[in-house]
């Protein structure tokens, strides 16, 4: 570590009466002076459209190999390299790995800094049409994107092992630098703290947003460095509290932290990692396992630990997932029967290679097959993943870590002894039209699972009205405008579905002096309390102000053992699930009705000044086949007075396939962009729950819409008139799309819709 700025430590400067802010500023000024201002290093251009990139390149001369790097407008955290080749610009996406934060182009090597990537492509074409030559001058690259950044005050604080209270004050200070900046040795403050086992400071860094994934200049994670520093307690904290993943590989060598510990001979770190669920025999790029390394270097204690290790008893035994007489097609059928839930799986015997197994799993409504290889009749493994001594252990490991699979395995499909398909528990139980309110369960008990049954819809609970139950009168009783419901008045029932932050349960709410009301309880689980509470509260605040037949009502929030939103129970649950489960039960007449009702609800929302931002069939609930309700206001925002669009400042999980071009490109949302999503929702309805744009990735969809100017195809059986509405909703220019008011009016005045129940409709 170089000398501290000003020649004295932070502790000494504070002691002599200097203010923390002044000390922070002195580091900022010092680093600004050191930053390279050489024009050849200034190829970074922040956010720039493709057109402006071309303009800048042309203005600078557009010589062969001239280049710039700009931040992608479409994909958050992603960058684009624009190069001149044969006098024409070419653009290459620089991908950012979600696991390591490393940058790469196509299948090229990963780099921890953008500067390192540029240096590589300056040194030769390496797959690009030309090597990079002159920079098109823009700005100095942000330190957090550099392989070697700068020594910040936070690095200095770690170097001094400052006391926790003072350290926290630095992190809380608005002038505190980005915590993921690497220092001149290529390490973030978290890396340095992990190598030295400064556990209290590690927890503070994590709490204030330090990324656990950022790699040091050599591609090691914080957990690798804790192992290299022989810090078993730090390893435990990182995995248990900071979500570090023991299977993350070091860029280049492919070492996981266990390799690091074995190589160095630190058996306590090995023990800790194994206790935290790490696989015992992972392989690095050259195929070596930690045991091979320990043997080579004669670390006898490590050899003992690794040889004697017994994995915990697997959660699911083979009869839960092993199928002896199932081929690829039957496997798909079984997964489809189970709803193609994320992580649903089975293991079958390969027809092509008898004696070999295949893991078949579903994710994102797609089916994936993985060969399970067998070596020396002893080791089972998938691809270049860890080795396991039995199939059970392999399955159990992938139930805990995705490690290369699209997600963790979660819902095993038991084998079928008889001809008929078994009653497979669906990963997300859904309410069916017949379900009565649950048997009351005390609030402190976990929900009781119940199996859905199916009878006629005459038992459908009628949507409660405000006068029926007396729950709507009365002012909201919290400062945020939310009604607080006493947990004592709520009983929990079975699970209806899984939401983003926790499960949605059925329940009954009985406020004193009123009848009981069946409700849906949207829970916020403990692990999401920090990350999700604001969004959760925001969703509740948006919903509290809404009162429309086609919008799910919020009765209030309830702070019991978990935070819950108490909502109107919409008896048949998700319309998407219903269409997929009962495609023959619904037809054109229902679809038109739903389309009209959604337009009506959205028209109301528009009048209230809200944009929904997540209108999709998955967020439409069915009260009955004749009444849909719009739900899931997690992304909704009020648009400011005098403005009719909302600009998103933070990215997050964006449903790109439902988004209008201006939302993807500029992050702007308006009722007009909701209209685009409405068109996609109509398309989903009329195609009976098909996935829009099939398997295309978000980037491919953008290209399809923008470059090829194409749109989703007319679903089979969809009337021309309805498809025409969809196409109008997908007008590229937002001002050319119909408004919800117009759509609503269209439905109201169309004789085809005369007998339908759409609020505002002349009956
Ligand atoms: P969400 O968090 O809104 O995505 O909800 C997850 C799942 O819970 C949905 O797909 C529905 O199956 C179910 N669900 C959510 N809200 C309700 C409700 N008000 N009434 C009935 N089911 C609901």
Q: What is the DSSP string of 630-660?
A: E---TT-EEPPTT-SEEE-SS--S--GGG--
pLDDT of 437 reads 26
Ligand 1 pocket, residue 567 CB under 6 Å? yes
Ligand 1 pocket, residue 497 CB under 6 Å? yes
Whole-number Å distance between alpha carbons of 554 and 565: 7
CA-nearest residue, atom 23 of ligand 1: 573
Specify the ligand 1 atom closest to the Cα of 572: 21
C-beta separation of 159 from 125 below 8 A: no
Residue 549 CA, distance from chain mean position: 31
Specify the ligand 1 atom closest to the Cα of 568: 19
Specify the ligand 1 atom closest to the Cα of 500: 2
pLDDT of 560 reads 78
Q: Which of 653, 681, 342, 628 is nearest to 498 (CA)?
A: 342
Ligand 1 pocket, residue 225 CB under 6 Å? no
Ligand 1 pocket, residue 621 CB under 6 Å? yes
Specify the ligand 1 atom closest to the Cα of 430: 12
Whole-number Å distance between alpha carbons of 295 and 470: 74
Ligand 1 pocket, residue 566 CB under 6 Å? no
Measured in Å, residue 575 CA sits from the centre of ligand 1 at 10
Measured in Å, residue 598 CA sits from the centre of ligand 1 at 17
pLDDT of 471 reads 29
CA-nearest residue, atom 8 of ligand 1: 497
C-beta separation of 399 from 407 below 8 A: no
CA-nearest residue, atom 22 of ligand 1: 573
Measured in Å, residue 533 CA sits from the centre of ligand 1 at 18
Within 13 Å, how many C-alpha atoms sit on residue 59's CB side? 10
Helix (H, G, I), strand (E, B), or coil: what is residue 86? coil
Give start and end residues of each alpha helix (H) in 123-256.
153-160, 164-172, 189-196, 199-207, 222-228, 232-242
Q: Catalytic annotation on 614?
A: yes
Measured in Å, residue 631 CA sits from the centre of ligand 1 at 8
Phi and psi at residue 71, in whole multiples of 5°?
A: -80, 135
Residues in the chain, pLDDT under 70: 74, 352, 416-481, 500, 525-535, 634-654, 748-763
Whole-number Å distance between alpha carbons of 212 and 191: 9
C-beta separation of 306 from 294 below 8 A: yes
Measured in Å, residue 20 CA sits from the centre of ligand 1 at 48
Whole-number Å distance between alpha carbons of 733 and 134: 37
Report the DSSP pairing between strands 627-630 and 668-670: unpaired
Site to substitute for ligand 1 among 433, 556, 565, 631, most atoms within 8 A of C-beta: 631
Ligand 1 pocket, residue 630 CB under 6 Å? no
Residue 717 CA, distance from chain mean position: 34
Site to substitute for ligand 1 among 578, 621, 623, most atoms within 8 A of C-beta: 621
Q: What does the pLDDT look like over 721-744, one tens digit per residue?
A: 999 999 999 999 999 999 998 888
Q: Which of 523, 514, 518 is nearest to 474 (CA)?
A: 514
Site to substitute for ligand 1 among 433, 571, 574, 628, most atoms within 8 A of C-beta: 574
Q: Which of 237, 207, 512, 208 is nearest to 222 (CA)?
A: 237
The token pair at 415 is: 């084998």
Ligand 1 pocket, residue 511 CB under 6 Å? no
Whole-number Å distance between alpha carbons of 39 and 522: 54
Ligand 1 pocket, residue 632 CB under 6 Å? yes
CA distances from 232 to 219, 228, 235, 254 (A): 21, 10, 5, 21
C-beta separation of 747 from 603 below 8 A: no
CA-nearest residue, atom 4 of ligand 1: 499
CA-nearest residue, atom 5 of ligand 1: 499
C-beta separation of 463 from 627 below 8 A: yes
Total-model pTM: 0.55
pLDDT of 748 reads 67
Measured in Å, residue 574 CA sits from the centre of ligand 1 at 6
Measured in Å, residue 548 CA sits from the centre of ligand 1 at 18
Ligand 1 pocket, residue 573 CB under 6 Å? yes
C-beta separation of 149 from 143 below 8 A: yes
Instruction: Give the Cβ contact number of residue 692 at 10 Å.
Output: 18
Catalytic residue among 614, 632, 674, 734: 614
Q: What does the pLDDT look like over 86-106, one tens digit per residue?
A: 998 888 889 888 778 899 987
CA-nearest residue, atom 13 of ligand 1: 497
Measured in Å, residue 528 CA sits from the centre of ligand 1 at 18
Q: Is 245 annotated as a binding residue?
A: no
Q: What does the pLDDT look like over 535-544, one tens digit per residue?
A: 677 777 778 8
The token pair at 592 is: 């038109």
Whole-number Å distance between alpha carbons of 176 and 224: 26
C-beta separation of 592 from 755 below 8 A: no
Site to substitute for ligand 1 among 435, 499, 502, 576, most atoms within 8 A of C-beta: 499
């Amino acid at each position: 570590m170089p000398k501290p700025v000003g020649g004295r430590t932070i502790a000494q400067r504070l002691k002599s009466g200097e203010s923390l802010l002044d000390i922070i500023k002195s580091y900022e000024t010092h680093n600004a002076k050191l930053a390279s201002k050489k024009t050849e290093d200034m190829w970074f251009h922040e956010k720039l459209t493709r057109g402006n990139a071309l303009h800048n390149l042309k203005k600078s001369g557009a010589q062969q190999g001239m280049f710039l790097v700009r931040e992608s407008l479409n994909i958050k955290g992603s960058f684009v390299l624009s190069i001149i080749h044969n006098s024409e610009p070419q653009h290459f996406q620089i991908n950012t790995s979600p696991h390591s934060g490393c940058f790469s182009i196509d299948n090229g090597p990963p780099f921890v800094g953008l500067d390192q990537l540029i240096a590589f492509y300056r040194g030769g074409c390496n797959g690009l049409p030309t090597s990079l030559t002159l920079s098109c001058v823009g700005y100095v690259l942000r330190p957090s994107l550099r392989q070697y950044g700068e020594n910040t005050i936070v690095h200095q604080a770690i170097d001094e092992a400052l006391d926790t209270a003072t350290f926290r004050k630095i992190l809380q200070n608005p002038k505190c630098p980005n915590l993921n900046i690497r220092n001149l040795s290529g390490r973030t403050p978290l890396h340095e703290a992990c190598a030295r086992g400064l556990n209290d400071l590690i927890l503070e860094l994590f709490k204030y947003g330090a990324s656990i994934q950022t790699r040091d200049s050599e591609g090691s994670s914080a957990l690798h460095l804790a192992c290299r520093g022989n810090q078993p307690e730090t390893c435990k904290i990182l995995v248990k509290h900071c979500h570090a993943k023991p299977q993350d590989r070091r860029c280049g060598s492919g070492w996981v932290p266990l390799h690091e510990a074995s190589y160095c001979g630190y058996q306590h770190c090995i023990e800790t990692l194994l206790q935290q669920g790490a696989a015992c025999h992972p392989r690095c790029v050259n195929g070596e396992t930690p045991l091979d390394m320990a043997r080579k270097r004669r670390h006898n204690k490590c050899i003992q630990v690794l040889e004697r290790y017994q994995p915990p008893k697997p959660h699911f035994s083979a009869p839960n997932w092993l199928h002896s007489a199932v081929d690829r097609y039957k496997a798909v059928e079984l997964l489809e029967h189970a709803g193609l839930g994320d992580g649903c799986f089975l293991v079958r015997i390969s027809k092509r290679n008898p004696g070999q197994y295949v893991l078949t799993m579903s994710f994102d409504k797609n089916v994936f097959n993985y060969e399970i290889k067998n070596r020396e009749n002893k080791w089972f493994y998938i691809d270049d993943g860890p080795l396991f001594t039995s199939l059970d252990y392999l399955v159990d490991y992938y139930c805990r870590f995705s490690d290369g699979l699209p997600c963790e395995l979660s819902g095993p499909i038991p084998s079928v002894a008889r001809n008929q398909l078994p009653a497979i528990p669906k990963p997300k139980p859904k309410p069916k039209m017949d379900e009565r309110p649950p048997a009351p369960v005390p609030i402190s008990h976990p929900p009781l699972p119940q199996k859905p049954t199916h009878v006629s819809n005459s038992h459908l609970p009628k949507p409660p009205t405000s006068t029926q139950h007396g729950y709507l009168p009365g002012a909201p009783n919290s400062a945020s405008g939310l009604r607080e419901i006493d947990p004592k008045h709520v009983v929990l029932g079975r699970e209806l579905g899984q939401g983003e932050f926790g499960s949605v349960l059925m329940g009954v709410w009985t406020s004193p002096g009123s009848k009981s009301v069946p409700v849906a309880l949207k829970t916020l689980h403990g692990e999401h309390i920090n990350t999700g509470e604001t969004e959760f509260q925001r969703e509740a605040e948006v919903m509290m102000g809404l009162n429309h037949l086609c919008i799910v009502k919020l009765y209030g929030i309830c702070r019991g053992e978990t935070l819950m939103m108490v909502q109107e129970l919409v008896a048949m649950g998700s319309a998407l699930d219903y269409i997929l489960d009962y495609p023959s039960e619904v037809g054109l007449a229902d679809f038109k009705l739903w389309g009209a009702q959604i337009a009506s609800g959205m028209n109301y929302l528009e009048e209230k000044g809200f944009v929904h931002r997540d209108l999709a069939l998955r967020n439409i609930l069915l009260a009955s086949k004749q009444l849909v309700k719009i739900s899931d206001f997690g992304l909704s925002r009020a648009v400011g007075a005098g403005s009719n669009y909302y600009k998103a400042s933070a990215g997050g999980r964006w449903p790109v396939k439902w988004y209008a071009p201006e939302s993807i490109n500029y992050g702007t949302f308006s009722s007009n962009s909701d209209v685009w999503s409405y068109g996609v929702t109509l398309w989903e309805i009329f195609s009976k729950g098909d996935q829009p744009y099939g398997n295309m990735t978000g980037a491919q969809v953008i290209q399809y819409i923008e470059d090829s100017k194409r749109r989703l195809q007319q679903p089979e059986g969809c009337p021309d008139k309805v498809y025409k509405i969809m196409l109008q909703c997908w007008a590229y220019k937002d001002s050319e799309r119909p408004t919800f008011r117009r759509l609503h009016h269209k439905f109201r005045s169309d004789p085809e819709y005369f007998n339908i129940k759409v609020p505002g409709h002349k009956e």
